């Protein structure tokens, strides 16, 4: 979805960010603070807390780290300049 972009990507990304941030462990005294609990996902029993936290972190960072496959740096710069 990130590669295609558009309103569908924006909506999915906003919803996913909310779900992930809301489901993150927020107990400053717990060793698991900042991670994601593997009991909340039916597939997590295979990979555990490390897999859940890795996938959540990658999902949250995808649009910061990678350009959409169909755009170039110049396209993004031009769009940002047009907004200013």
Asked if the structure places residue 43 within a domain, the reply is yes
Domain that residue 42 falls in = 6-71
Q: Which residue has the higher pLDDT, 53 or 82?
A: 53
What does pTM read for this prediction? 0.66
Asked if the structure places residue 81 within a domain, the reply is no
| 22-79 confidence digits (pLDDT tens) | 999 999 898 999 999 888 777 778 889 999 999 999 888 876 666 656 565 555 565 5
Residue 39: what pLDDT? 82
Asked if the structure places residue 78 within a domain, the reply is no
Give just the sign of the alpha carbon dihedral 13, 15, 18, 24: negative
Asked if the structure places residue 80 within a domain, the reply is no
Asked if the structure places residue 1 within a domain, the reply is no
Number of domains in the chain: 1
Asked if the structure places residue 59 within a domain, the reply is yes
| CA gap 9, 20 in Å, rounded | 16
């Amino acid at each position: 979805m990130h590669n295609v972009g558009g309103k569908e990507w924006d909506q999915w990304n906003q919803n996913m960010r909310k779900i992930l941030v809301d489901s993150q462990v927020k107990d400053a005294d717990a060793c698991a603070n900042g991670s994601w609990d593997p009991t909340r996902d039916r597939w997590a029993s295979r990979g555990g807390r490390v897999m859940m936290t890795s996938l959540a972190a990658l999902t949250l960072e995808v649009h910061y780290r990678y350009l959409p496959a169909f755009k170039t740096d110049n396209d993004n710069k031009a769009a940002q300049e047009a907004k200013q």
